Chain A
Amino acid sequence: MIRFNKLSILAVAAFGFVLVSCDKNDTPGDTFDTSGTYMQNDQMGRPAVNTVFNASADKNTFNVTTPSAMGAIFAPKFLNNLVALDAAIKANDPTYVQYSTNALGMSPQVLTTTLATDVLGVSMTGATSLATLTGRNLTDDVIDIELKFLIFGGTDGTKNPKLTSDNVNANDKPFLATFPFLAAPF
Chain B
Amino acid sequence: MKKKLLLGSLLGVVLVGGIIFAADHIDAPAVTGAGPSSLNNDITDIYAFQSPADNSKMVFVMNTHGLLSPAASATATFPSNVMFEFNIDNTGDNVEDLVIQCLVQNGRMRVYGPVAVGTPGLTSTVKTTGPMTEVAVTSYASATPLTATNANGIKVFAGPRDDPFFFDFVRYNMVLANPVIGFSPTGSDTFAGSNVMSIVVEVPKALLGTAATIGVWGETKSK
Q: Which residue of A lies closest to B167 (CB)?
A: A143
Q: Is the CB of B162 within 8 A of A186?
A: yes
Q: Which stretch in A8-16, A98-106, A173-181 binds the other chain? A: A173-181
Cβ–Cβ contact A50 & B189, under 8 A: no
Q: Write out the residue numbers on chain B whose beta carbons fall within 8 Å of the beta carbon of A135.
A: 48-50
Nearest residue, chain B, Cβ from A62:
B29
- Size class of the contact patch on chain B: 35 or more
Residues of chain B within 8 A (CB-CB) of A86 are 17
Known: A36-B223, A136-B48. A52 touches B19 (CB 8 A): yes
Number of residues on chain A facing chain B (CB within 8 A) = 89
Q: Mark B42-65, 1 if CB is under 8 A from A, else 0.
A: 110111111111010011010000
**A2 interface hit (Cβ, 8 Å):** no
Contact across chains for B215 and A167 when beta carbons are under 8 A apart: no
Q: Does B212 belong to the interface (CB within 8 Å)?
A: yes
- Of the residues B103, B184, B220, contact of A42 by C-beta under 8 Å: B220
Partner of B198, one of A59, A96, A167, A180: A180
Whether A167 lies near B183 (C-beta < 8 A) is yes
State whether A61 touches B32 (Cβ < 8 A). yes
Contact B161 A38 (CB under 8 A): no
A179–B167 CB distance below 8 A: no
Nearest chain B CB to A181's CB is how many angstroms away? 7
- Chain B interface (Cβ within 8 Å of chain A)? 16-24, 26-27, 29-37, 41-43, 45-53, 55, 58-59, 61, 68, 70, 73, 82-83, 85, 87, 89, 93-95, 103, 105-108, 110, 112, 120-126, 128, 134, 140, 145, 147, 155, 157, 160-162, 164-168, 171-172, 175, 178-189, 191-195, 198, 200, 202, 205, 208, 211-223
Which residues does A use to contact B, with CB under 8 Å?
A: 23, 26, 28, 31-45, 47-48, 50-53, 55-56, 59-61, 63-64, 66-68, 70, 81, 84-89, 92-93, 95-96, 117-129, 134-138, 141, 143, 161-163, 165-173, 175, 177-186
The 4 A-B pairs with the shortest beta carbon distances in the complex, nearest first, are A162-B182, A167-B187, A38-B221, A39-B34
